[in-house]
Structure 1
Amino acid sequence: MAPPLKCDLCDNPATVHLTQIVNNKVHKVDLCEHCAKAKGVTDPSGFSLSELLLGAAAGNAVAAAAQPPPHTLRCEKCGYTELEFKKSGHLGCPDCYDTFEPLIEGMLDKMHKGTAHLGKAPQRAIERQRLHQRLTELNDALSEAIKTERYEDAARCRDEINQVKQTYGEEPAR
């Protein structure tokens, strides 16, 4: 059995283990209960893993100097700042989405394949939905053609409905 991990800030046994991936680099921090409380890890509103990682590497002045100064974006409605957003990962109000849009868009673009939510559905379900929608359109067109006595158009609609139903796996209309 492996020996217990030591706290990165003191020599006590680590009971809190944090992992963050930044720029495809894994950063792990192991803390004892006392240091975790002191750093605000147990308080979700006051904890920033990036600050903790920088604090653990306090001897490394190059890392601290490489950090860009915080921007001054501020939500006009709730007063939430960019620094607060980066620290907590939460927004203060719905208007914050507009205020912090460049930050959010950049983060989403890095985390996902794009910034538009496309949903998730099986391909066959999407195809069935498309065929069902087409069938509904054709039935409406058929009804309108019959109502206005355009029988040639109605026959074309009926034939196309039968094709769609065969694809859809239903009995064709007669």
Structure 2
Amino acid sequence: MECQECHKNHAIVHFAQVINGDKTEIHVCQQCAKEKGYVSPDEDAYSLHHLLSGLFNPNSEAMQKLTEQEKEQQEIQCDKCGMTYQEFASIGKFGCASCYQTFSEHLNPLFRKVHSGNTIHEGKVPKRVGSDISQRKKVRELKVKLQQAIADEAFEDAAKIRDQIKGLEKNLNQHGGEGEV
């Protein structure tokens, strides 16, 4: 695709601009992008690295909105390797396996951003055991709903959910689905 500004070079910077509901797509080369201020002169356009590093950047707008208490929590250090959250944020890699546990409360929001809101890996289920696994999953989901219904004092809903759980557990036990649900 040709640059929309100079009409000479290949366009490598592409973005859409929406003003009052009108969408305009802009396609420019590296040189025109720098001249027009779409990228800073000392940067090489927008790379995947820049995009991902923004998620962990302690100076990003989202991170600057942290309260003082949250900023103090960022200084938590891993007991095994001594890495701080600030070091992880700037490097983008953990020092050891314990870092995952140490920084877990800070990681879930990041994982939600990266994985479209999901923080639990579901994976694929083999067909031959799929029904048992899906029923167990349904029971776990219903138990969470049951706890929420009880907390909300929606006891009629809680009774219905309890009955659904009992029915699924009975079905699992009859089909040889051993183990804790």
Q: Which bracket does the TM-score occupy, shorter chain normalised?
A: 0.3 to 0.5
Q: TM-score under structure 2 normalisation?
A: 0.38
- Higher Rg: 1
TM-score (norm. length: structure 1): 0.39
